[in-house]
A and B are shown apart, each in its own frame.
Chain A
Amino acid sequence: MREPVSVRILTYACLALFVVMVAVPLFWMVTTAIKTNKELYEDFSYFPRQPTIVNFVRVIQRDGLLINIRNSLAVALTTTAVTVVVSAMAAFSIVRYRYRGRDVIGRLILFKYLLPTAMLFVPLYAIVVSLGLGNTLRSLMLTYLSFTVPFCTWMLMGYFRSIPPELEEHAMVDGCTKVGALIRILLPLSAPGLVASAIFSFTLAWNEFLLALVFTMDQSTMTVPIKLSMMVVGDQYIWGQLMAGAVLASVPVAILYFLGQRFVVQGLAAGSVKG
């Protein structure tokens, strides 16, 4: 049934409004990064007149952002690798095995998924210091597992439940062990779920702010978010470099999002709404 013209006009008008609302801050971030300081602070213009990469060069050379990018990558990649393996094992165990205490763990995972880091950063800090891990990247690799693993286990539980167990049972009748059935049957079938959980753990670790702020103290261990937030208070005329840094910080996440968009949207739905 065709929509009346008035409804279609209203729909597209609202859509245009939403697009502008989302686009303006993004546009401003990117154009600020390629403007000269003159254009930013003296001779205002909405569009960059002489696009330049000088802000990117400065944020890397003068502020040493590459070190922070390396720190962030090390933490995010380690966290992701451990998380995917550990969560897949746990989700398989909870969905396909029967033993006492399984429900308790399932409920604890959900509880942690909902319990914000803000509730735990004080004791985690005390624990990290007493383990002698203060101001190390290892403290982040370890503590980030406290939110990536519950999140990904919860998501993978949803995926594994959606795959009929008969497939694995057939494999087991043919002489495959249960763990063999996980590796040969369930994992290939839930590849989209595994990709989504890898994307999510990388993103969660890459974006994490509070624990990194509390645990890391200097340039050698600061991750990108902390470095950029420290730059704000440093200098008045920092915005060109800062937005260049913001663009660089968004790039890995944006690439992952566009490569895995289908999985991410499915994952958002599986993790939050469908259960």
Chain B
Amino acid sequence: MAITQRSATVVVPVGAAPRGARRLPWFRREALEGIGLLTPTALILFGLVLYPFFYAIWLAFTDKAVGSPGSFVGLANFRYVLGAPQFSAALVNTAVLTVSAVAIKFVLGMAVAVVLNQQIRGRNFFRAFLLLPWVMPAFVVYLVWRWLYDPLSGLINYGLLDLGLIGSPIAFLSDRSTAMASVIVAHCWRAFPFFAISFLAGMQTIPQEMYDAAQVDGAARWQQFRHITLPSLYHIIGVVLMLSTIWTANAFEPVYLLTGGGPSDATVVYTLLAYQMGMVNMRLGEAAAVSMLFLPLLVGLILVVTSLLQRRAH
């Protein structure tokens, strides 16, 4: 089969070369065309995603620094990273940030979606307005929150003092007891609209007849939410929770821009630790090792989301 095709293309006169392509059987021509269209994206995926991904795994086993080639050092980077007190701080902080922020965003996002799903006047306006924190650039949001938290001239301290709720200003971002909570609040403000808009999109596909029938049967509003709304949203809730867990666990900007990991590593997360080791200490091997230690968890999450998303697609 392959041989006859090859000879068929060879006997085509040189002048008719463009027509020669037409003589390929349709399925081969189609395959070539499809692969051709895909090539730029495939190159980007292999060169900028797959290759760096495996290169990072290799880096984690070398003493590569900026400007030096680096040689294989076995597990030395992992021993170093696991022994560093910063690593356990980063592990705990990443977990605390992720779990509490995702929980708060879920509750807040669901509440906003329920309210926006009611018959309210100007619903489109409010939906657009409440999406603004998610639309704004993240770095802008965290710079604004840094200013809101400012111990000397920040709005939050002025407001709390005016209301008589505190006696003296609080250094929200440089006090160990408030730094992490402050980061979480700022992050939730930024990211809750993603939950709200996704849940709202799901709620709007639930047929009104289901609620009407429940009302005839005398179901209270809470029961309607519990037995109609929530079950219809299970798939969306699953996807949103997983996506948000991945994004939150890998967030860099909130911590970098608000606290820089301080005070004394109270808010350091793993992405910030990798940045500090790689870019501040210029030791890329150790930075890669930090990322690799979080990789198994991340890949596990990604595989779950992938199967959830693909089940929906088919």
Contacts and interface: CB of A to CB of B under 8 A. Distances in A.
A89 B40 contact: yes
A257 B243 CA distance: 22
A5 to B, nearest CB: 13
B133 interface: yes
Main secondary structure, interface of A, reads helix
B250 A119 contact: yes
A211 to B, nearest CB: 10
Contacts of B310: 110, 275
A254 interface: yes
B107 to A, nearest CB: 13
A28 B155 contact: yes
A214 B27 contact: no
A133 B302 CA distance: 31
Contacts of B148: 25, 28
B37 A93 contact: yes
Given A22-B133, A25-B148, A120-B53, A269 B143 contact: no
Contact of A123 (B52, B129, B246, B302): B52
Interface in A221-260: 225, 228-229, 232, 239, 242-243, 246, 249-250, 253-254, 257-258
A111 B301 CA distance: 11
Given A118-B252, A120-B49, A242-B143, A273 B37 contact: no
Contact of A272 (B33, B49, B118, B240): B240
A125 B64 CA distance: 12
Contact of A112 (B38, B45, B135): B45
Nearest to B29: A178
Main secondary structure, interface of B, reads helix
Interface size class of A (residues with CB under 8 A): 35 or more
A7 interface: yes
A244 to B, nearest CB: 11
B306 A18 contact: no
Interface stretch (B10-18, B98-106, B176-184, B284-292): B284-292
Contacts of B206: none
A257 B59 contact: no
Interface in B21-50: 27, 30-31, 33-35, 37-38, 40-42, 44-45, 48-50
A228 B132 CA distance: 20
Contacts of A44: 153, 158
Nearest to B124: A261
B236 interface: yes
Contacts of A7: 118, 221
Given A97-B31, A122-B287, A129 B201 contact: no
Contacts of B279: 125, 213-214
B119 to A, nearest CB: 7
B313 interface: yes
B41 A87 contact: yes
A229 B257 contact: yes
B139 to A, nearest CB: 4
A123 B201 contact: no
B119 A3 contact: yes
A176 interface: no
B257 to A, nearest CB: 6
Contact of B189 (A21, A161, A269): A21
Given A44-B158, A93-B37, 15 more contacts: A19-B130, A94-B38, A96-B34, A97-B37, A112-B49, A114-B302, A115-B49, A213-B256, A228-B139, A229-B256, A243-B144, A253-B136, A253-B137, A254-B136, A269-B201
Chain A to chain B: the 6 pairs with minimum beta-carbon distance, closest first: A97-B34, A116-B250, A90-B41, A146-B48, A99-B31, A123-B52
